[in-house]
Chain A
Amino acid sequence: MDAATKTNRVMERKPKNIFVQGAIAPAFIADSIAKHSSKTTIGGHNIFLGQVRADLIDEKKVAAIEYTTYEELALEKMHVIRQEIFAKYELTCMHVHHSLGTVAAGEICLFVFTSSAHRRAAIDACNEAVERIKTELPVWGKELFEDASHQWKVNQ
């Protein structure tokens, strides 16, 4: 095996880090879109943005969500999800960013971005990625109320 093949194999195996500390800034999302202007085989993008909702629970309002993860397992799992989605859909690229730590109500906590030559693949792949991220990644959200009490988030 030559050096280049070895390097490629290592890169294939190494899971990308999807986690960012705190909220995902709108400027980061804009920049991420802009970076695709040189990839002219792309004909469609699909973006999902998860935003922290100020739910009212027993008359207490959610002020923020604090996210924690089992990072090693989550990154391995995301790597498998990524490979399976690329095998299933004709995608040009996919980018996933998930917050850790505290994200205030109204801020972005999940950014999934898929691109393909024709729109259908990007839309379907993005939907599937979001569903799988929510059900399969070991990430936990703690809903922090305005009065400093908390409860553990339950995904619907």
Chain B
Amino acid sequence: MITVLFFGKLAEIAGAKTELPHVASTDELLQQLRTSFPLLAAEKFIVAVDKKTITENTLLTDNCTVALLPPFSGG
């Protein structure tokens, strides 16, 4: 099972957390998420797999946590 966490504005679109079985890669995951939540397509975000931000397609293993992080606005 892959756990997906959404933050900031993205949590308003998709909820804070969802779980998906059998997703091979981050590209596949994002494709599934964009189908389930079409509004995600218009949003800017970076992706972290197990708390490491990634810049290209990444293979996922069971029990991975993937986080979608919109632009930071702390302080």
Please list the residues of chain A having a beta carbon within 8 angstroms of any beta carbon in chain B: 50, 67-70, 72-73, 76, 98, 109-110, 130, 133-142, 152-155
As a 0/1 sequence over residues 37 to 74 of chain B, the CB contacts with chain A under 8 angstroms (1 = contact) are 00000000000100100000000000000010111111
A152 to B44 CA separation, bound complex (whole angstroms) = 13
Please list the residues of chain B having a beta carbon within 8 angstroms of any beta carbon in chain A: 5, 7-9, 11, 48, 51, 67, 69-75
Complex partner residue of A70 from B9, B69, B73, B75, CB under 8 angstroms: B69
Check B51 against A139 for contact (C-beta < 8 Å): no
Check B67 against A70 for contact (C-beta < 8 Å): yes
Check B74 against A139 for contact (C-beta < 8 Å): yes
Complex partner residue of B70 from A110, A135, A152, CB under 8 angstroms: A152
In the complex where A68-B7, A70-B7, A70-B67 touch, is A140 in contact with B75 (Cβ < 8 A)? no
Check A136 against B72 for contact (C-beta < 8 Å): yes
Which of A73, A76, A136 neighbours the largest number of chain B CB atoms within 10 Å of its CB? A73
Check B74 against A110 for contact (C-beta < 8 Å): yes
A152 to B6 CA separation, bound complex (whole angstroms) = 14
Residues of B within 8 A of A152 (CB): 8-9, 70, 73
Since A140-B7, A155-B72 are in contact, a sample of 7 more A-B pairs with Cβ atoms closer than 8 Å, ordered by chain A residue number, is: A69-B7, A70-B48, A98-B74, A134-B75, A137-B74, A140-B8, A140-B9
Check A155 against B7 for contact (C-beta < 8 Å): no
Residues of A within 8 A of B51 (CB): 72-73, 76
Check B74 against A133 for contact (C-beta < 8 Å): yes
A135 to B46 CA separation, bound complex (whole angstroms) = 13
Complex partner residue of A155 from B11, B67, B69, B75, CB under 8 angstroms: B75
A133 to B8 CA separation, bound complex (whole angstroms) = 17
Which of A50, A140, A152 neighbours the largest number of chain B CB atoms within 10 Å of its CB? A140
